[in-house]
Amino acid sequence: MRTHLVSCLLLLASGCTHAPPRDDPATPSSAVAARPEDVATIDGVMRAFYEVVNVAPEAPRQWARDRTLYSPWIHFVAIGKEVEVFDHARFAAATEPLLRAGFREWEVHRTVRRYGNIAHVQSTYESRTGPGEGTPGRGVNYLQLYFDGTRWWVTSAVWQTEDAAHPIPPELLPPSRP
């Protein structure tokens, strides 16, 4: 159950080279300015979504940068044996202990369906938790975004970590190379 949190949590956690002005997960999104390159495009949002979760063991988090990606009413939903729903502050608090061991996550495939100012992103990821090579994992994130005329906002992130009962289907994986 906690491993399901690790995937997205770290998608949101921290670890990039720029220290945020305030690194408190309870900081409201309006208290810290978003980096324009993080929110100007869907590609920028997805790049930042993954950058902020790559963190070395005991490294500082980027909760403030992470928070700027989301609408004030963001919900994170982890699908596993149980369904767990979090707002940003609860998500950060619940997953912080997992980040201490280190986490790396990267996107391997993406599908975007867009209509006007709304978008649905399916993003398949691979991850490693813990020090050194870590424990491998993978899963799929589903994000809902909207454009307010100035920037993109993530309104929800739902994910499921792959397991034996739920293998990732071929259409959500990168095309095979001959």
What pLDDT digit, counting tens, does each position of 67-123 carry?
999 999 999 999 998 999 999 999 888 888 777 788 889 999 999 999 999 999 999
Instruction: Judge: domain 2-166, CATH 3.30.2020.30.
Output: no
Residue 23's pLDDT band (boundaries 50, 70, 90)?
A: low
120 within 8 A of 113, measured Cβ to Cβ: yes
d(CA 153, CA 171): 26
Residue 22's pLDDT band (boundaries 50, 70, 90)?
A: very low
Which comes out higher in pLDDT, residue 20 or 64?
64
Beta bridge partners of 144: 120, 156
Query: Can you give the residue ranges of every domain in the chain?
Result: 2-166
Please give the pLDDT value at position 13: 36
Please give the pLDDT value at position 132: 78
Q: Model confidence over 33-79: pLDDT tens digits?
A: 999 999 999 999 999 999 988 888 878 888 899 999 999 999 999 99
